[in-house]
């Protein structure tokens, strides 16, 4: 793949389509359908998931057309920040309530939360604490989600579990192996996600990652597997492929009810370590059901800030590759013309 830092999203999609055409020719030469070729390569459940998401011979553009449009709500509030990284909990709750009403189209906040959780659900809230104390998803967001699921959706509090990497027993036991198709990488999910949870709320933080990559909704699930170190590296065939394939695993894809990206104080360069020189007060939350669309909106926010700081385009090439691949396998929408972005400016 070209490493041109000015490659557009459409160009990246076209590049992936060319790669897939070559893969289809190799499969045909071997007397295999594309699905059979991927199943042989992966020898596991993940291959079936990804292969079924991309019909044989389909291009990235054709796959995008089969996806329903995605709605993303970007809600901001000027008073959400109190001081430095501290936030105002009541304001956070108001922002989430407003976002859920806009996202679901329901009449009331309670009805909106009932679209996320049901009384009989076991909800896993996957937050991100790895950058604590200053570069993590604000705990006030996860606390508000828990409280509103209990109050509005009547989910029993004891059936709401807030977790990151340190998952308590018995939920931390490992699932049977999944094999990701593009690299043949084997990984195990925690049984919390495969067996216990009936719903997942993905709460992450918006930040750049080394090598022009991006920490967002898909990368948040590195805290849900047993071998996150095996995924790392922003070469085109590593994280840009493996993270979408991880999120496409059936338990994560089917059970995810809500994605929240903490864009209150994003990190637009460097990362994953905090650097005050690259932080700014955006005071926003990105809320969606599509992890790719939510992440694509976050990417645009970071790239717009980077362009202002540098005075010229400063694209996040590896992150663009990841978004294009995620769309190409049918995980979600990355292209702006496939996303209905609703801006809710409060306060």
Cα(163)–Cα(259) distance, integer angstroms: 15
pLDDT in tens, 31-71: 555 444 444 333 223 333 333 344 444 555 666 677 899 99
Q: What is the DSSP letter of 308?
A: H
- Judged against a pLDDT cut of 90, whether residue 119 lies above it is answered with yes
Structure tokens at 298: 């976050």
- As a whole number of angstroms, the distance between CA 344 and CA 347 comes to 10
DSSP state of 68: P
What is the sign of the dihedral through the CA atoms of 225, 229, 233 and 237? negative
| Percent of the chain predicted with pLDDT > 70 | 81
Domains of the chain in sequence order: 68-345 (3.40.50.11440)
> According to the model, what pLDDT value does residue 73 have?
98
- Mean pLDDT confidence for 317-342: 96
Q: Give the angle subtended at the CA of 310 by the CAs of 308 and 316, to the nearest 5°.
A: 90
Residues 126, 164: Cα–Cα separation, whole Å: 6
pLDDT given at position 67 = 86
**What pTM was computed for the model?**
0.84
Burial of 52 from C-beta contacts in 10 A (0-12 / 13-18 / 19+): middle
- Mind listing the pLDDT tens digit for each residue in 241-251? 999 999 999 99
Residue 53, pLDDT score? 40
Residue showing tokens 């499969």: 27
| Structure token pair of residue 8 | 């557009």
- Helix, strand or coil, per DSSP, at residue 87: strand
Judged by DSSP in three states, 2 sits in: coil
Per-residue tokens: 281: 């007060």
* Whether the predicted pLDDT of 202 surpasses 80: yes
How buried is 166 (Cβ within 10 angstroms: 0-12 exposed, 13-18 middle, 19+ buried)?
Answer: exposed
**Mean of pLDDT values over 158-184:** 95
């Amino acid at each position: 793949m070209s490493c041109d830092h000015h490659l557009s999203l459409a160009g990246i999609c076209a590049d992936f389509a060319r790669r897939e055409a070559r893969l289809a020719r190799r499969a045909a030469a071997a007397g295999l359908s594309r699905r059979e070729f991927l199943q042989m390569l992966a020898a596991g459940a993940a291959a079936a998931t990804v292969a079924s998401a991309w019909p044989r011979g389909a291009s990235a553009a054709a796959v995008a057309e089969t996806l329903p449009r995605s709605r993303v709500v970007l809600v901001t509030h000027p008073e959400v920040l109190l001081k430095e990284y501290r936030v105002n909990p009541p304001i956070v709750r108001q922002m989430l309530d407003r976002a859920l009403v806009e996202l679901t189209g329901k009449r009331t906040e309670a009805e909106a939360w009932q679209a996320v959780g049901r009384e009989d659900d076991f909800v896993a809230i996957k937050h991100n604490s790895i950058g604590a104390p200053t570069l993590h998803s604000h705990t006030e967001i996860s606390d508000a989600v828990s409280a509103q699921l209990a109050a509005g959706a009547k989910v029993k509090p004891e059936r709401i579990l807030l977790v990151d990497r340190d998952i308590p027993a018995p939920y931390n036991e490992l699932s049977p192996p999944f094999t990701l198709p593009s690299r043949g990488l084997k990984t195990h999910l925690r049984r919390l996600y495969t067996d216990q949870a009936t719903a997942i709320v993905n709460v992450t933080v918006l930040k750049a990652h080394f090598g022009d990559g991006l920490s967002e909704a898909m990368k948040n699930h590195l805290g849900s597997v047993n071998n996150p170190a095996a995924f790392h590296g922003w070469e085109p065939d590593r994280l840009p492929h493996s993270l979408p394939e991880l999120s496409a695993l059936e338990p994560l894809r089917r059970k995810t009810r809500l994605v929240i990206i903490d864009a209150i104080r994003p990190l637009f360069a460097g990362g994953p370590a905090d650097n005050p020189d690259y932080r700014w007060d955006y005071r926003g939350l990105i809320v969606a059901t599509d992890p790719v669309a939510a992440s694509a909106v976050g990417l645009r926010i970071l790239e717009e800030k980077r362009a202002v700081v540098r005075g010229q385009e400063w694209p996040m090439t590896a992150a663009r590759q990841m978004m294009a691949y995620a769309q190409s396998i049918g995980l979600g929408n990355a292209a702006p013309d496939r996303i209905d972005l609703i801006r809710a400016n409060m306060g």
